[in-house]
C-alpha cells in the first residue's frame, strides 16, 4: 500500500516573540531569541517513529533577508501561512518596522499576533510571561490591550525553562486537538449515507422536530437544566451568570426554499408571547435556528427583516444582533444529522466564550426580556 508524501509532511509552527528581552534560562539571564532557539529544538525533537511532527520557524532562520521591509513582510507571511503560531507573550509589542511605520505605533509582535489571529484564531497558542509595565497610549500598551481583548488562554510561566516544558506539552496538545477535529469532521461521513440520509428522507415537519430537539438537548445538557414545555423547545443556559432562554427552531431545507423558511419566519415577533413561559429572572429569548444547509449573511438579514444590524459570519453559521430592539438570531449551518447539529451548535457556544461575545449576548438578552415584558403588558 503506497503512502502519500503529504501524510508525513510536518506541520509548520511559527514562534513569535521579542528577540532581545531578557528571560531566565538555566539560572542565567539570556535573550528571548536564545529561548526561541531552545524551544524550536525541543519541539522538533518530538519524533514518534522517527517522524518529525513540526517544522518550526523562528525569525533567526531568516537572518539574511534583505532589508527591514522584507523582514516585516516575511514575518507577516509566515504568521498567515503557518499551521500553528506559538506566541511567547511578555506584553512587549516589539520592533516597529521601518520609519514610515513608526507613526502606527504597532510593533512586529503585535502585528504577527494580529495577522495570525485574523487568519485563523484556532491556530494561535500562547505561553505567557508576566507582562512588562506599559503606558496605555504606547505601542506596548496597545498590544497588551489588544491581546487581553482576544481572551486567548495560555500557560503562565516565569522562566525560560518553564516555557520550554510548556511548549512541548502545547505542541502535543495542539496535534491531538487537530486530530480530534479531523475525526469529528470525518465521523459525519457523506450526506448520502447513515443518519444524514435518514434525516433527508423525512418530511419538513419531522426533520424540523428532530433537528431542533438535538439543538435544545445540547444546550440544556450543557446548562444542566430541563427543557421548558413549549413549541418550539426552549433551553436555558447560564451565560456570564445570566440565565438565558434559547428558543430552538429549524429551517428543514435550503433557505432558498420558501416553504421551509416560512415555517420559522420571524420568531422574534412572538417574543412577548414566549416570555410568559419563562421564569421571572430568565433573559431573552435568543433565537437559535438550525439550518439543514448553508446560510449566508444576506439570507440571515432577510430573515431579520432589515439590514442595519450586527452580522458575524463564523464557522458555525451566521450570528445576527440588533442593538436597538436587542433581537438576537443564530443560524447554525449544515445541520444534516444529530452529530453535525450538536457539533456546530457547540462551536457557537465555544465561540461566545472564546471571543468575549458572551457578555454582549447576555446584556442584549437582558434588555430583550424587559422589552418583551413591556410588549406583553401593553398587548
| Domain-wise residue ranges, the chain | 5-184, 194-378
Q: Pick the residue with more confidence: 190 or 139?
A: 139
User: How far is the C-alpha of 181 from the C-alpha of 173, rounded, in Å?
Assistant: 12
pLDDT value of position 51: 86
**Minimum mean pLDDT range among 120-129, 172-181, 225-234, 317-326:** 172-181
Instruction: Read off the pLDDT band of 115 (50, 70, 90).
Output: confident
In terms of average pLDDT, the best of 61-70, 174-183, 186-195 is 174-183
Residue 279 is placed in which grid cell? 421564569
pLDDT tens track for 146-175: 898 888 889 999 999 999 999 999 999 988
In the chain, DSSP finds a helix count (H) and a strand count (E) of: 12, 13
C-alpha R_g of the chain: 24
Q: CA-to-CA distance for 75 and 57, rounded, in angstroms?
A: 10
Contact 353/362 with Cβ under 8 angstroms?
no
pTM score, two decimals? Answer: 0.61
CATH 3.40.50.11530 assigned to 5-184:
yes
pLDDT of residue 185: 43
- Measured CA to CA in angstroms, residue 96 lies from 66, 183, 202 at distances of 17, 41, 59
pLDDT at 54 over 70: yes
- 209 grid coordinates: 422536530
Amino acid at each position: 500500500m503506497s503512502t502519500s508524501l503529504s501524510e508525513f509532511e510536518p506541520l509548520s509552527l511559527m514562534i513569535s516573540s521579542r528577540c532581545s528581552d531578557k528571560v531566565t534560562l538555566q539560572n542565567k539571564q539570556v535573550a528571548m531569541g536564545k529561548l526561541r532557539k531552545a524551544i524550536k529544538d525541543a519541539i522538533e525533537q518530538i519524533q514518534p517513529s522517527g517522524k518529525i511532527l513540526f517544522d518550526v520557524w523562528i525569525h533567526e532562520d531568516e537572518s539574511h533577508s534583505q532589508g527591514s521591509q522584507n523582514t516585516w513582510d516575511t514575518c507577516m507571511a509566515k504568521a498567515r501561512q503557518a499551521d500553528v503560531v506559538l506566541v511567547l507573550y511578555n506584553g512587549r509589542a516589539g520592533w516597529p518596522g521601518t520609519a514610515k511605520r513608526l507613526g502606527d505605533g504597532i510593533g512586529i509582535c503585535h502585528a504577527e499576533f494580529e495577522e495570525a489571529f485574523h487568519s485563523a484564531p484556532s491556530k494561535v497558542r500562547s505561553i505567557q510571561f508576566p507582562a512588562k509595565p506599559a503606558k496605555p497610549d504606547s505601542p506596548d500598551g496597545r498590544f497588551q490591550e489588544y491581546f487581553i481583548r482576544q481572551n486567548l488562554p495560555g500557560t503562565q510561566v516565569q522562566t525560560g525553562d518553564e516555557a520550554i516544558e510548556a511548549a512541548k506539552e502545547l505542541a502535543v496538545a495542539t496535534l491531538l486537538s487537530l486530530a480530534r477535529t479531523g475525526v469529528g469532521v470525518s465521523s459525519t461521513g457523506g450526506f448520502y449515507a447513515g443518519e444524514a440520509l435518514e434525516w433527508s428522507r423525512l418530511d419538513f415537519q419531522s426533520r424540523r422536530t428532530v433537528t431542533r430537539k438535538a439543538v435544545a438537548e445540547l444546550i440544556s445538557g450543557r446548562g444542566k437544566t430541563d427543557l421548558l414545555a413549549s413549541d418550539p423547545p426552549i433551553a436555558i443556559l447560564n451565560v456570564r451568570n445570566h440565565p438565558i432562554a434559547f428558543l430552538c427552531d429549524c429551517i428543514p431545507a435550503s433557505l432558498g426554499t420558501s416553504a421551509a423558511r416560512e415555517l420559522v419566519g420571524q420568531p422574534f415577533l412572538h417574543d412577548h408571547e414566549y416570555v410568559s413561559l419563562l421564569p421571572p429572572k430568565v433573559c431573552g429569548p435568543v433565537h437559535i435556528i438550525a439550518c439543514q444547509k448553508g446560510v449566508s449573511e444576506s439570507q440571515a438579514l432577510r430573515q431579520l427583516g432589515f439590514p442595519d444590524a450586527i452580522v458575524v459570519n463564523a464557522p458555525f453559521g451566521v450570528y445576527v444582533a440588533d442593538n436597538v430592539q436587542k433581537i438576537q438570531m443564530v443560524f447554525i449551518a449544515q445541520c444534516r444529522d444529530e452529530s453535525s447539529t450538536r457539533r456546530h451548535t457547540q462551536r457557537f457556544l465555544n465561540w461566545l466564550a472564546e471571543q468575549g461575545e458572551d457578555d454582549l449576548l447576555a446584556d442584549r438578552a437582558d434588555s430583550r426580556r424587559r422589552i418583551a415584558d413591556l410588549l406583553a403588558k401593553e398587548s
